[in-house]
Chains A and B, each alone.
Chain A
Amino acid sequence: MSLAGFEVEVEQVNGAGLNTEEMTLNMGPQHPSTHGVLRFVVKADGEVMREAIPDVGYLHRSIEKISEKVGYHGFMPYTDRVDYVAAMFCNQGWGMVCEKLAGIEVPKRGEYCRTIAAELNRISSHLLSVGTMVLDIGAITPFFHAMREREKINDLLEEICGARLTYNYMRIGGVAWDLPPGFAEKTLAFIDRFEPVLEEYHDLVSVNAIYLGRCGNVATISAAEAINYNIVGPNLRASGVRYDVRRDEPYSVYPELEFDVPVGTGRAGAVGDSFDRYEVRLREMKESCKILRQCFRQIPEGPVIAKVPRKFKPPAGDAYIRVESARGDMGWYAVSDGTEFPYRCKVRTGSFAAMSIIDKVSRGLMLADLVTVIASLDIVAPEVDR
């Protein structure tokens, strides 16, 4: 087989091939570059992988079962832990599914607050994803620059809800706190200083020949494959499918906001390779900045939370909603039996589906590429295992 101009041939000695064996390697739950506790059993023929079988479950915390004990209101902080990197979307998802169950409408200002918090969280989640991807590929500096910007976003979100990672900002019916005074100015000032950082990232990383060589044409996922394997979010858009829940099944205030949905262009090789997944995230961050500016211009006055009883007893039935999380289409399903504890709650996350395609896409890749694939698919372990 031919890999990038390097021919591999097996010597024929006395009519018999050289005896080579496949190595079984364990990229174990403890590893510097699997994002969280993920395990891969890799069968490699030298540097080339034949199989990469994922083994999940190391971070399973029975969050869905816990919802049946703590009730609708009490479950909100647990949703933060489903994906702690992009926790606002999980909050929003749970809030929306409960509101759908009980037929509650969130006031306009509450929706705008939710969107502002969510888009800020999208930026910080993408920063983490892009930063760790570059770190895994070997460049150590852009990771720190991304973390520096993420710190600033954490400070902003700390002002709005009091916590930096597990926000518990949203409640059923709206949000818990209104925007503090001066928040709009601070956020707009942050966005003004942030957009040049994206440009810097572009110059330091996206045009770098070595980076293009490492990510271009690596683990190309075609549009049909992506749809078949349930890939969602930036991964799906990188493969050329222009699907975004905010655009196609709009919720909250997204119908009133103007933004583009970036799609992979195949600049580094093929549409849907690792580089496209990285670049789509960079461009999405820019779009989130645009959305934030519009939100601050359009946000109305008014209450931020609807009237919701303390003992929340939605009528029996079930509801399914979708949120466009940083990692894609996150689906929340709740079944209510009329009491104040849900009968069943289920989360469908983008990372879980992305794990399924890793084996298929990494056959024939080199060991160094497995790391690139995992990082470019932006898999976070808590989402996979819940």
Chain B
Amino acid sequence: MANGLSKYIRNIVDTATTVFEGMAVTCSHFVRRPTTVQYPDRTPMRVQDTLPFRYRGILEVDMEICTGCLACERACPIDCIVIDVSKDKQTRAMVMTRFDIDIAKCMYCGLCSEPCPTGAIHHTPEFEGADFSLESMVRRFVKDPVVCYKPKKTGEDDPEILPLLDRGMRYVDEFASPDGTKPAAEEGDAETDA
């Protein structure tokens, strides 16, 4: 009987003290600053600018430095990249007539940007891709046929292409490689290591 009574009182006291303690914890939270980021209009700066360099947002291709090696098309598991490359009869150069990425199919895995020799295809910090039409989900990067880029052995000297190449190589160099270096950009290299 006494055991039952003490257990009874114990129950009441436990309930009261734990509720009291719990309310103290929530009260301590009440005076703290909320951690909400009031996106999109009340952020201190654009969210896209706060994202890390490796962020895998919507894909973008710098056609000026694309070598047409098709490594990204082969690597994509979903087949959302479609590239048409052909040899132009007159100029004997490789020309790209189509480079479409369907960003609705894309799962932002990054497998395409990894084997790119120049970093032409890379992820951007952009993530706001919502739109009203399905057609706008296919990003067409080639309007007029583009000559495939041929990386110069002595390094790039064109002032317009150099920043793009630098940025692209910086993106690609983030990826780890077994010996710490990235292999030189070669066209059509199917058997290169990761």
Contact = CB atoms under 8 A, between A and B. Distances in A.
A and B touch in the complex (CB under 8 A): yes
Interface of A: 70-71, 73-78, 107, 110, 141, 145, 148, 151, 158-163, 166, 168, 171, 173-178, 180, 200, 203-205, 207-210, 303-311
B176 A175 contact: yes
A77 B78 CA distance: 10
A340 to B, nearest CB: 11
A174 to B, nearest CB: 7
19 contacts: A77-B77, A141-B26, A148-B35, A158-B51, A161-B54, A162-B52, A162-B56, A163-B110, A168-B111, A177-B176, A203-B21, A204-B22, A207-B18, A210-B15, A303-B179, A304-B176, A305-B177, A305-B194, A310-B190
Contact of A166 (B26, B109, B175): B109
A203 B25 contact: yes
A47 to B, nearest CB: 23
Contacts of A78: 77
A168 B109 contact: yes
B15 A308 contact: no
Contacts of B51: 158
Contacts of A303: 176-180
Contact of B54 (A77, A151, A177): A177
Interface in B14-29: 14-15, 18-19, 21-22, 25-26, 29
Given A73-B111, A311-B190, A162 B177 contact: no
Given A70-B77, A176-B175, A303-B180, A162 B54 contact: yes
Given A175-B176, A305-B194, 8 more contacts: A158-B51, A161-B54, A176-B114, A200-B25, A208-B18, A209-B14, A303-B176, A306-B178
Contacts, number: 112
A175 to B, nearest CB: 6
Interface residues of B, number: 39
Contacts of A176: 110, 114, 175-176
A191 to B, nearest CB: 18
B114 to A, nearest CB: 7
Given A77-B109, A161-B54, A176-B176, A310 B11 contact: no
A180 B26 contact: no
Interface in B120-157: 123
B82 interface: no
B56 A173 contact: no
Given A178-B176, A311-B190, A77 B25 contact: no
- Closest 4 A-B residue pairs measured CB to CB? A74-B77, A77-B109, A162-B54, A162-B56
